A and B are shown apart, each in its own frame.
Chain A
Amino acid sequence: MSVTVRIPRVLSQAVTTGLRHEAEGETLGAVLESLFSQEPGLENHLLDEDGRIRPHVLIFVDAARADLDTPVAPASEIQVLQAVSGG
């Protein structure tokens, strides 16, 4: 089951093949694992040392805020948002 993952431009320094990726998985956590296997440089920037989504990183599945357990449907679109906290 393939879904689309879009990442923000600020993370372009951590990827090798662009800002839009196709990944596999039935939960957001599984999709991210699939994404990290393609772009290992992203993992450290999206997840903290304990494997949780970093506190100021927001990830949406089909326009709804998601956590790692959120189910992902076929053809879902996943959007990693540019952090909006801070000055």
Chain B
Amino acid sequence: MMRILVGTEKGAFLLTESGSDWQVDGPMFPGWKVTAFGQTTGGAIVAATGSNWFGVGVHHSENLLEWKPSDSPPAWPEGSDRKMEQIWTFHNQGDRLLAGVAQAGLFSSDDSGMTWDPVTSLNEHRTRDQWSPGAGGLCAHRILSGNGSMWLGISAVGVFRSDDDGVTWVPKNDGIPSVDTAEGGQRPEVGYCVHGLAHDPVEPNHMWRQDHQGVFRSTDGGDNWERIEDGLPAGFGFVMWRHPATGRLLTVPLESSDNRVPVDGKLSAFASDDDGASWRVAGSGWSPAPQFTGVLRRAFDGDDNGGFCFGTSGGKLWLTRDLGDTWQELSPSFPRIAAVSIVA
């Protein structure tokens, strides 16, 4: 029985498979944006809420319906000129729960998200004064870890890697065009707009990146990136996901930075079975009617069993249970979808 948590502009919803249909519970956190989901080492689900007026929140649940708020969500120190605008992502690393936030920063919790400390090595990085926001703000939105390394994606700054458990961080964007430097100009150390990041959990240095400037891969942990767009209708987009067992990649291309909808309204995921060397439309089931909608950078999730779901800025969910061979649009409609999580 599949369950899907959906974070939207107006609360969260829990979809539970019920025969051929879906039971919808919610909205949870009515009136609040729900921007990220995560899981603690103990198995509790965490949700991030946000408001244009009341700041951010972190909530815990064991049953996905009753939630307990953290008394002390991530916050910049008193006197800081930064604002805690949104929690973009959670990542469970060992006994630590990490959170990526806007204005860009990394926070760490040793008590399953009840209290948080800033990761100063990243937040006060020597390049900080050169960090600039993208259209989605200055946001740390993707965290990966494996084989002793950590990666953090920040828009519009780039990918950082730490090989010493977060003590030091090094920008890793060679091969990626900068968002604000003319071709042939001197490459800046930061100023790269990563949108999505995935890697192979067995060989974590094998990485795939949906960037503002296209789709790329790296086989050396981000030291070097090469463009891989053969078969894609556009290089722009936000989604990058890799199925752990088969290595199949999925992305959802959008036309361009200036027009963030599918090319000609043809909404579909694209799949690659050769590490991104070539791409094709993923399976069947896509709507024949135009779908001029977008997919935001945390609005997707997949599981080990071939389940993958993404939500659109138009409030619809698309689901595959067979790794992208067949797709269905789920019938409920929601507000703009910011976060999706498939829960066991």
In contact, B52 and A49 (Cβ under 8 angstroms): no
**Beta-carbon nearest neighbor of B67 in chain A:** A13
Is A51 interfacial (CB-CB < 8 Å)? yes
CA distance A49 to B77 in the complex (A): 7
Is B113 interfacial (CB-CB < 8 Å)? no
CA distance A44 to B73 in the complex (A): 8
- Contacting residues, chain A, for B287 (C-beta < 8 A): none
Is B76 interfacial (CB-CB < 8 Å)? yes
**Beta-carbon nearest neighbor of A50 in chain B:** B78
In contact, B55 and A44 (Cβ under 8 angstroms): yes
User: Can you offer 22 A-B residue contacts whose CB atoms are under 8 A?
Assistant: A10-B31, A13-B29, A13-B49, A13-B59, A13-B67, A14-B69, A40-B72, A41-B71, A44-B55, A44-B72, A44-B73, A45-B51, A45-B57, A48-B55, A49-B76, A49-B77, A49-B83, A54-B53, A54-B55, A85-B53, A86-B52, A86-B53
B54 contact from A40, A51, A83, Cβ within 8 A: A83
In contact, B54 and A45 (Cβ under 8 angstroms): yes
In contact, A10 and B78 (Cβ under 8 angstroms): no
**Beta-carbon nearest neighbor of B71 in chain A:** A40
Is A46 interfacial (CB-CB < 8 Å)? yes
In contact, A49 and B78 (Cβ under 8 angstroms): yes
A41 contact from B30, B70, B80, Cβ within 8 A: B70
**Beta-carbon nearest neighbor of B49 in chain A:** A13
In contact, B55 and A10 (Cβ under 8 angstroms): no
Is B32 interfacial (CB-CB < 8 Å)? yes
CA distance A14 to B73 in the complex (A): 11
4 more CB-based (< 8 A) A-B contacts, given A10-B30, A50-B79: A41-B57, A45-B57, A49-B76, A51-B78
What's the minimum C-beta distance from B12 to chain A, rounded to whole angstroms? Answer: 11
Is B45 interfacial (CB-CB < 8 Å)? no
Chain A contacts to B: CB under 8 angstroms: 10-11, 13-14, 40-41, 43-46, 48-51, 54, 56-57, 83, 85-86
CA distance A54 to B83 in the complex (A): 11
Is B98 interfacial (CB-CB < 8 Å)? no
CA distance A45 to B71 in the complex (A): 10
CA distance A10 to B57 in the complex (A): 13
Is B75 interfacial (CB-CB < 8 Å)? yes
- Contacting residues, chain B, for A48 (C-beta < 8 A): 55, 83
- Contacting residues, chain B, for A83 (C-beta < 8 A): 51-54
**Beta-carbon nearest neighbor of B73 in chain A:** A44
**Beta-carbon nearest neighbor of A36 in chain B:** B71
Is B64 interfacial (CB-CB < 8 Å)? no
A56 contact from B30, B31, B49, B52, Cβ within 8 A: B52
**Beta-carbon nearest neighbor of B31 in chain A:** A10
CB contacts under 8 Å to A, within B61-98, are 67, 69-73, 75-80, 82-84
Given A13-B32, A49-B78, A49-B83, does the pair A41, B53 have CB atoms closer than 8 Å? Answer: no
What's the minimum C-beta distance from A4 to chain B, rounded to whole angstroms? Answer: 21
- Contacting residues, chain B, for A13 (C-beta < 8 A): 29, 32, 49, 57, 59, 67, 69
